[in-house]
C-alpha cells in the first residue's frame, strides 16, 4: 500500500492529518537501484512523525501517512516540478537523486530520473496518496461544510544547504496567509506561539505543495503545515524516539487541536473561517465606491514579497526597532496578510496592526478608504494605529512609546 490510514475512533471532527514524509519503504522493483547503506535508514525521513501524532484518532481526526520513502517520489512537491522556493536553498526534486546535503542516493550516481520513470512513479505512488487526501477532504467537507488539512513534517535542527542557522522549534506555514482563514491561523498560533518553544510563521518554510494545493479558504477548505525540529521528540542525535520529549510536545499539539476544533465548531467574528467578504482592492465606479475582488492568493504573495523588499525609509526605520522582539519582547511581523489586506506591521498577541502613512493618505478619498478598512478589520477584533512618515523619521521614540502602550493595553499588561 502507498499509504496507511488511521481513521477516527471517536466522533469525527472536520480535521484531516497528512504525514507525507514518514515512509521508509522502497518498492521491490526500485530497491536495488539505491545505495544500500543509505536506504537502510533514509536520512531525509520525517522519522516517527506518524507516531508522534498517534493521538489524532482519539480526537476524531483521520490521519493518512506515507509508507514509501520520499526518495521514491516526494509527495509534497509539485507534480510538474514547479519550485517551491527561489532563494538559493537546495530543493530536492519530485524524484530526488541526492540527499538534502547533496549526497547521491543511486548506485549509478545519476543526477536525474528520466521522464517516463517519473510518470510511472506519479501514477503508482504519488497520485493514489493525493486522491485519498482529496477523498477525505471532500467527504469531511460534505459532512461539516468545512475542513482543515494539517500537514505534518520534521527536520534536523541544522541543514546548512537549506538554512545557515538552526531552525526554530516550530514553523507554521500557510503560504503567507493564503491557504487558511486568518481565524484558524490565529487559533493555531495562539497556542504554539505562547509556550516555551520557539516559533516562526512562514519562515523559512511557508508550506509545501500539499498545503498550497489544498488550501482554498474561499471554498471552506483550509490547510496548514507544521514543521518541527526533530529534537522536540527525538534524542540529541536525532535518530531515536524520545518518549519524554515526545509527550511534552504532544501536549502542545493536543492543545492546538483542541483550540482548532473549538474554532471550527463554534466560529466567532474573531476567529472567522471564511475568506474575507471584502475584496483586496478598491475599485472605482462612476462616482460610487465599490469593492472589487480581483486578487488571487498568488497576487497577494507577489505583493507581500515586493512590499517587503521595497519598504519606504520610514517603514524600514520602524522595522529596525520592531524586528526580533526588540520592542519590549513583543513579536511583530512585517507586511502581514490579514483578512484580505496587507498590514505594514502586525502584532499577533495583541491583534494590532501598525500602519506607516505617506502623503497619499492625506487625500480625502484615501482617508475614506483607510477608515473603511479599519472599521472592517475591527469586526475581527483587529485594531489599527497609524503614524505618518514624518513622525517615524523625526520622533521614533514617541512612536515606539505609543505602540508599546497600545499593545500592553490590549494584552492586559
pLDDT digits (tens, 9 = 90+) for 70-109: 999 999 999 998 878 776 676 788 999 999 888 999 999 9
Q: Enumerate the β-bridge partners of residue 383.
A: 352
Burial environment of residue 270 by CB neighbours within 10 A (0 to 12, 13 to 18, 19 or more): middle
**CA–CA distances in Å: residue 47 to residues 26, 94, 308:** 15, 20, 35
Range in 35-49, 200-214, 259-273, 353-367 the model is least confident about = 259-273
d(CA 33, CA 279): 52
Residue closest to 158 by CA, chosen among 198, 206, 103, 100: 100
**Which positions ≥6 away from 351 have C-beta within 8 Å?**
186, 270, 381, 382, 383, 410
| 50 dihedral zone (left: phi>0; alpha: psi -120 to 50; beta) | alpha
Q: What integer pLDDT is reported at residue 305 of this predicted model?
A: 52
d(CA 395, CA 389): 10
Element (H, E) at 200: strand 199-201
d(CA 200, CA 197): 10
- Checking if the pLDDT of 347 tops 80, the result is yes
Give me the residue label for grid cell 482592492: 281
- Checking if the pLDDT of 372 tops 90, the result is no
What is the CA angle 373-181-254, rounded to 5?
Answer: 135
Q: What integer pLDDT is reported at residue 262 of this predicted model?
A: 94
- Helices 182-192 and 243-265: crossing angle in degrees, nearest 10, is 150
pLDDT digits (tens, 9 = 90+) for 164-180: 889 999 999 999 888 99
Q: What integer pLDDT is reported at residue 269 of this predicted model?
A: 53
d(CA 179, CA 300): 11
**CA–CA distances in Å: residue 98 to residues 40, 43, 72, 295:** 15, 10, 11, 38
Q: What is the mean pLDDT of residues 325-345?
A: 86
Element (H, E) at 144: helix 127-144
Q: Enumerate the β-bridge partners of residue 342.
A: 337
- Checking if the pLDDT of 163 tops 90, the result is no
Mean pLDDT (the chain) is 87
d(CA 138, CA 145): 9
d(CA 188, CA 257): 8
Q: Enumerate the β-bridge partners of residue 170.
A: 199, 228
d(CA 142, CA 250): 29
Domains and CATH numbers, the chain: 3-265 (3.40.630.40), 294-411 (3.40.960.10)
Give me the residue label for grid cell 520534521: 154
Amino acid at each position: 500500500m502507498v499509504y496507511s490510514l488511521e481513521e477516527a475512533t471517536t466522533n469525527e471532527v472536520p480535521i484531516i492529518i497528512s504525514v507525507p514524509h514518514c515512509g521508509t519503504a522502497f518498492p521491490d522493483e526500485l530497491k536495488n537501484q539505491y545505495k544500500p547503506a543509505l536506504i537502510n535508514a533514509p536520512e531525509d525521513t520525517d522519522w516517527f512523525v506518524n507516531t508522534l501524532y498517534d493521538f489524532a484518532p482519539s480526537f476524531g481526526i483521520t490521519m493518512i501517512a506515507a509508507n514509501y520513502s520520499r526518495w521514491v517520489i516526494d509527495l509534497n512537491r509539485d507534480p510538474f516540478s514547479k519550485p517551491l522556493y527561489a532563494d538559493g536553498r537546495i530543493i530536492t526534486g519530485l524524484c530526488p537523486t541526492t540527499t538534502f546535503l547533496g549526497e547521491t542516493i543511486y548506485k549509478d550516481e545519476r543526477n536525474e530520473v528520466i521522464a517516463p520513470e517519473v510518470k510511472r512513479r506519479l501514477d503508482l505512488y504519488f497520485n493514489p496518496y493525493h486522491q485519498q487526501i482529496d477523498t477525505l477532504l471532500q467527504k469531511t467537507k460534505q459532512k461539516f461544510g468545512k475542513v482543515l488539512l494539517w500537514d505534518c513534517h520534521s527536520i534536523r535542527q541544522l541543514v546548512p544547504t537549506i538554512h545557515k542557522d538552526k531552525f526554530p522549534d516550530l514553523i507554521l506555514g500557510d503560504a503567507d496567509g493564503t491557504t487558511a482563514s486568518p481565524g484558524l491561523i490565529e487559533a493555531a498560533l495562539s497556542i504554539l506561539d505562547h509556550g516555551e518553544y520557539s516559533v516562526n510563521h512562514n519562515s523559512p518554510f511557508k508550506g509545501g505543495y500539499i498545503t498550497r494545493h489544498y488550501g482554498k479558504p474561499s471554498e471552506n477548505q483550509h490547510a496548514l503545515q507544521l514543521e518541527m525540529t526533530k529534537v522536540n521528540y527525538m534524542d540529541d542525535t536525532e535518530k531515536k524516539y524520545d518518549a519524554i520529549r515526545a509527550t511534552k510536545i504532544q501536549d502542545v499539539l493536543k492543545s492546538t487541536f483542541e483550540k482548532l476544533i473549538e474554532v471550527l465548531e463554534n466560529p466567532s467574528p474573531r476567529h472567522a473561517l471564511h475568506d474575507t467578504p471584502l475584496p483586496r482592492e478598491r475599485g472605482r465606479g462612476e462616482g460610487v465606491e465599490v469593492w472589487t475582488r480581483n486578487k488571487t492568493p498568488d497576487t497577494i504573495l507577489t505583493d507581500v514579497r515586493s512590499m517587503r523588499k521595497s519598504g519606504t525609509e520610514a517603514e524600514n526605520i520602524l522595522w529596525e526597532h520592531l524586528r526580533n522582539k526588540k520592542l519590549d519582547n513583543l513579536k511583530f511581523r512585517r507586511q502581514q496578510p490579514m483578512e484580505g489586506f496587507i498590514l505594514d506591521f502586525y502584532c499577533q498577541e495583541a491583534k494590532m496592526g501598525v500602519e506607516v502613512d505617506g502623503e497619499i493618505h492625506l487625500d480625502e478619498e484615501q482617508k475614506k478608504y483607510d477608515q473603511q478598512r479599519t472599521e472592517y478589520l475591527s469586526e475581527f477584533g483587529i485594531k489599527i494605529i497609524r503614524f505618518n512618515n514624518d513622525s517615524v523619521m523625526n520622533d521614533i521614540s514617541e512612536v515606539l512609546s505609543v505602540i508599546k502602550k497600545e499593545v500592553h493595553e490590549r494584552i492586559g499588561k
